[in-house]
Structure 1
Amino acid sequence: MSINDAAHESSTGATWAPIPRGSHFGLANLPYGVAVIDDRPMVVTRVGDGVLPVAYALAGRPEWADLFADGNLDRFLATGPETWAGVRAELRRFFLDKGQARELIPVSGLRLVLPFTVGDYVDFYASLDHATNLGRLFRPDSEPLLPNWRRLPVGYHGRSRGIVVSGTRVVRPAGLVRAGDEVVRRPCAQLDYEVEVGFVIGGSNHGRPVGVDSADSHVFGVVLVNDWSARDIQAFEYQPLGPMLGKSFATSVSPWVVPLEAVKPYLLQQPRQEPEPDSVLRGTRPWVLDLALDVSVNGTTVGATNAAGLYWTFAQQLAHLTSNGSLIGPGDFYATGTVSGPGETERGSLIEAAWRGANPVKLADGSERSWLLDGDEVLIRGRFGPEGSGVGLGEVVGRVVPDEVDASMFLP
């Protein structure tokens, strides 16, 4: 038996559910999503290429099934790790019980919606290679990293209402930009993508800091993120307080929330950090994501990297976020910031891949990109473990459409 065959058996078990070989959605995954079925949203789990409403599998545990009655994950997220683990175990038992065999609903053709209500959103800046690249682009004559970067996970609060599910069209934003000696309002001319990983929070910290090694008591699951960025708008607005309109128009997330329990076998020990971080940011458990990521524009792969290269782990990010007593609660959401690696083909944003327009990226149709054009489709994929036997996050996709904002649309 090959390693892949053994991994496939381990991930599927003796299940009655059809799981194609090479699927990233075996019983080792069991992600949660929300699909519109019979004109109403229902929480589902995905197995192979099909989905099953979670409440069906929990018929014998009505107190758990009722958590999903609202057609989202909100009440389930609020329960905490013990219930999360119990429901996950019950789902696995259901798919292993041949007496429960039934036809799954094909995932193709289903409309998937955002599976939880976003309470708050924070975006970090955790990739050393990304931060270094941008420092070299914007401050070529200075040290690329600012003095605080290796001391704490730099981040900013974003707009929670800007979080949209994969497949949502991305309207090119307009804003104030510098044009020579003038400042003008115009559609963004430097639209970019950012390959990121996001984390969905459950439970509450009741205003108490969350230690690094307690991250799994609050992080429910993992998603893919595309943090669309209007670089020209951002460049004019971000000093001194950081991004606002250059980021808030859209942040796309994948529709499947993969439980952290499914990810734990793929967590690695963190390398030593220099200088040693503050005691609040120190931990001993493995929190590094061994997560392969790739991004394509109109079907052409333009970057591939691994989240294992992130300098700050998601556990350190959560510890820093709560270190001052900041409240977190169910549906709060945070992301890593752009994930880039050291190589030229490992860059997680177009500003890096095209080096701010100096080296445009070539697509399969012969065209080049320094920035995204109207009609461009950006697709990000991610998986833990080897191709064909790992746990997948699926994909997050978005297509750019023209700005349709007209001055007459603004209220007097």
Structure 2
Amino acid sequence: MPITANNPDRKTWIKTKHHTDFPIQNIPFGVFLTRDDIITIGTRIGDTAIDLGALHQLGYFDGIPLTDDIFLQDSLNDFISDGKKTWRLVRNRIAEIFDEKNDTLKNNKKHRQEVLFSLDEIEMQLPVSVGDYTDFYSSIEHATNVGTMFRGKDNALMPNWLHLPVGYHGRSSSIIPSGIPIHRPQGQKLTNGATEPIFGPSRLVDFELEMAFITTDANQLGEPIPIQEAEDYIFGLVLFNDWSARDIQKWEYVPLGPFLGKNFASSISPWIVTLDALEPYRTAGPKPVKEQLPYLQYEGAKSFDIHLEVAIQPKNTEETVVSKSNFKHMYWNMAQQLAHHTVNGCPVNSGDMMGSGTLSGPTPDSYGSMLELSWKGEKPVQLKSGGSRKFIEDNDTVIMRGFCEKDGVRIGFGEVSTTLLPVFKK
């Protein structure tokens, strides 16, 4: 089935700003609370939010096999479960409805009032109910940088790293949408030179520049997903700030990996950009350093040219962009991650979230964490407003953005913005 929604020549009758992240070729999916306090599933063109629940009730999706309540829910999980054919039919229909040549909704003032909202009339919600969350460690630059810091250059990568996508199971209950502040976490730390830990606030709170993909129902218990089929079960991607408390993590992670240093918060952008929308931006990823096992071998371009940036904004001051990276730096791509995740028969469900791991690039200005940017705090990052940062301080806001651009069409993710508040006190 062709992806007609991606037509780069298509224009919309909805007023949009030049260079918007959300042209008619994007058509992402999200969940929002309307001005009438109704939660609905929607999409976005420019700075206009579109209530898909109302659009469906008014008959604009006639001919597409959808249940009556598919868009009248507080998560996208059921819609995602309908599969790629349905996602594509719906995106194509939305593109037709809002095409500048289609006057049906454009000339129906009553319907427009029910369907269209300005962004200040809605409140974005978490787009999916995340049942399970896995975080990978798939940037060779990031893994090499961190390994060099703590084990030396000759032992930077662990022996398994070039053979499989390393990952761990995270905590889904602390995944939050953009705009929700978090508190500085507390935990055990081992200070320099000490032999016994102390308890207290983390002194080394860090961001991790990541993206995450959302899956649909994919397999039964015991059934692996072949790598050539893996992308059929990926709905789309979001920006992902996987917060870290480096001092807590350093003390706890041996032998079972991250725990309290990672599970206190992970922030995502609220609009899921579909894999279909990203199709024009495919690109090759890094070439394998070692030959990979057959179940991880693939053909074609499996990465995407997504420009990423991170900014830090102290309270009441201007922001400073501290990093610019790209999704294409990811050594282990999404198809490999999903194939490896399920090769042992682990079932994957609708709404599951898979983090990419920190997306560091090859140059110091493209590192995806403060741990790397400040090199363990040895090289403070200078801010435009004065001062510097080794790690994130209280009342700092971390903002991540991402977009693709080709042939005059820009497909973006908006942003994920999160403020770090002081330690929680009753």
Count of matched residue pairs: 398
| C-alpha distance after superposition, 1:153-210 (max 9, x if no partner) | 0000000111111111111000011132331110010000000010011123123211
Deviation, structure 1 residue 321: 0.4
Q: In 2, Cα distance between the equivalents of 1:176 and 1:254?
A: 30
| C-alpha distance after superposition, 1:22-69 (max 9, x if no partner) | 112112100011111111211110000111101233333465252112
Q: In the alignment, which of 260, 264, 277 is matched to residue 249 of structure 1?
A: 264
2:207 is the counterpart of 1:204: no
Q: In 1, Cα distance between the equivalents of 2:12 and 2:280?
A: 21
Q: In 1, Cα distance between the equivalents of 2:88 and 2:153?
A: 51
SS in 2 for 1:108: helix
Deviation, structure 1 residue 223: 0.3
Deviation, structure 1 residue 365: 1.3
TM-score (norm 1): 0.93
Deviation, structure 1 residue 115: 1.1
Question: Which has the higher mean CA deviation after the structures are superposed, 116-125 or 79-88?
Answer: 79-88
Deviation, structure 1 residue 12: 6.6
Q: In 1, Cα distance between the equivalents of 2:285 and 2:85?
A: 27
What amino acid maps onto 2:349 in structure 1?
A: G
2:53 is the counterpart of 1:55: yes
Aligned to 2:340: 320
Aligned to 1:149: 161
The answer to whether the 8 Å contact 2:284/2:301 transfers is: yes
Distance 1:56 1:237, change over 3 A: same
The answer to whether the 8 Å contact 1:22/1:387 transfers is: no
* Structure 1 spans left out of the alignment, 5+ residues: 1-8, 407-412
Aligned to 1:71: 74
Q: In the alignment, which of 126, 135, 153 is matched to residue 147 of structure 2?
A: 135
Q: In 1, Cα distance between the equivalents of 2:174 and 2:74?
A: 21
Deviation, structure 1 residue 403: 0.5
Deviation, structure 1 residue 274: 2.5
Q: In 1, Cα distance between the equivalents of 2:171 and 2:335?
A: 22
Deviation, structure 1 residue 271: 4.4
* Structure 2 spans left out of the alignment, 5+ residues: 1-5, 107-111, 314-318
Q: In the alignment, which of 391, 400, 411 is matched to residue 371 of structure 1?
A: 391
| C-alpha distance after superposition, 1:101-138 (max 9, x if no partner) | 13631113521110110010000000010000001111
| C-alpha distance after superposition, 1:70-107 (max 9, x if no partner) | 23211101111111111111111111222211363111
Name the Cα RMSD after superposition.
1.7
TM-score (norm 2): 0.90
Question: Which has the higher mean CA deviation after the structures are superposed, 54-63 or 369-378?
Answer: 54-63
Q: Residues 150-299 of structure 1 correspond to what in structure 2 (within 5 A)?
A: 150-179=162-191, 180-207=194-221, 208-298=223-313, 299=319
| C-alpha distance after superposition, 1:238-289 (max 9, x if no partner) | 0000001000000000000011100111111344312111111011132112
2:401 is the counterpart of 1:381: yes
Aligned to 2:30: 33
What amino acid maps onto 2:386 in structure 1?
A: G
Q: In 2, Cα distance between the equivalents of 1:274 and 1:210?
A: 24
Q: In 2, Cα distance between the equivalents of 1:322 and 1:176?
A: 34
| C-alpha distance after superposition, 1:306-331 (max 9, x if no partner) | 11111110111111101110000101
Q: In the alignment, which of 307, 318, 330 is matched to residue 310 of structure 1?
A: 330
Q: Percent identity?
A: 38
Question: Which has the higher mean CA deviation after the structures are superposed, 183-192 or 69-78?
Answer: 69-78
What amino acid maps onto 2:159 in structure 1?
A: P
Aligned to 1:3: none
The answer to whether the 8 Å contact 1:167/1:396 transfers is: yes
